[in-house]
Amino acid sequence: MPRPLMKIVTRVIGFLIFLCLFVGVAGSVFAVSTGWAYELFPGLPEPPSLQTGGGLPGEAAADTEENEPRFGLPQTLLPGESVPLRNEVNIRPLAAEIPTPQQVSVEPPIIATNVFLAVIMALIFGSCITILDDMLAEEQGRIQAWLRAYRVDQLLPKIADFATWSANRAIQQGCLTLPIVVVILAVYGILFAFLEEGTSIFTRQGALLAVTMAFSVGIVSFAGDIVRRVLGRLWKARSSFNLYPFSLLIALLTVGVSRVFALTPGIAFGVPGGADVEIPAEKRERREVTLAMWTVAAILFVGIAGWVISGLTLSFIDAPIEERVAQAIGGIVSGVQNTSLLLWMVALETAFFTALPLAYGSGRVIFKWNKFVWILLFVPIAFAFNHVLLNPQSGFLDSFLNGNVRMMWAVLLALAGLTGGLWFYFNVIDDILQEWVGLK
């Protein structure tokens, strides 16, 4: 058999194996998610019903309405003349979807499920990005020819300039810094407030939620910015703060996806700004990796601090307090608890999406530098994201009934399918067209 033909046959066999695996996984996810698997195979174990009531995971769920938040304050009243502070504390429905440290599940099936999902995320994202990078490097000339043929090559630079455009000129002038920052953070706060169903920013509670979300986004964004500026000073490198209005489109998209697909608590991602550090070419790789790692670490530090505060506040909630004092401080405790939980949500989601090996992200820099180090960083963050936000109380089978997990599988399968299709085209169809048909 001629060598070119042998190469194509081998690639076709490899692709068919991938296709069988892909169809099998996608079909299994679809069958279990829709319940068809239990109709086709009645002997399969039925997944346990999800707990949708308040209280700690693992406790018996009370009879509650279907849309009641999954997590909340403990419901046990303490005896005595004093009242528990809980009576005066109002937790927002959005914040009630986020478990405090005491409420995180320690059940082995749930932990194992979320570890498995984190590993699957790392494998699929890592493998697909590696394949796409190699394919882009090998087929760069072919892709550029396509772009020129369809006259897209002139449009792409404009799109890239728009995506990376920053409001640095106004920032550097100084006088517009504070107003621009306040306006952009306010827009982020308003957008993310709509993650809570039924929110109206024209009400007192809705406006307060928007302010809380704006505060959380600002703290998370500027935490990474401060670290980058400190490192820039240590290296005696020039740094400048830039705002990225294009990120607002990402924030709008994440909120829209969250509402359309009923994700809980939803996706709050979008980096309003950051510090750019000028790095000499000979030190670029090492210092960019350092900046990326410290940026992710700063975001996580801020989020974990908020999460710890939420746990301490929850421990204080049921303390017996004289009724007048409880009424006086109830609003303050409510604000602290809501803010700390929402800060943890924004920080954890920002850390997760920042750690993905996508373009312009810290995860991309670490991934290109050392894939093993990226796995060590990404898997724990992905597990925390899964265990706290994505799938906080479901084992493996019943996780397929969770809209968050179904959405995750859809994204992963779409990425794997797109990567596999592009690989098949460039490595099989394109070779056949060029070598056998004569098309260039």
The predicted-structure confidence for 38-55, as pLDDT tens digits, reads as follows: 666 666 665 554 443 344
Domain range annotation of the chain: 1-43+403-440, 84-399
Between residues 4 and 191, which one has the greater pLDDT?
Answer: 191
- pLDDT by residue (tens digit) across 213-252? 999 999 998 888 889 889 988 988 887 777 776 788 888 9
Q: How many CA atoms lie within 13 A of 2 on its CB side?
A: 5
**8 A C-beta contact, residue 294 and residue 300:** no
pTM, full prediction: 0.83
* pLDDT confidence of residue 199: 82
How far apart CA 350 and CA 275 sit, in angstroms, is 16
* pLDDT confidence of residue 53: 36
How far apart CA 251 and CA 182 sit, in angstroms, is 16
Share in percent of the chain as helix, strand, coil (round to 5)? 70, 5, 30
* pLDDT confidence of residue 79: 47
Between residues 378 and 283, which one has the greater pLDDT?
Answer: 378
Between residues 194 and 2, which one has the greater pLDDT?
Answer: 194
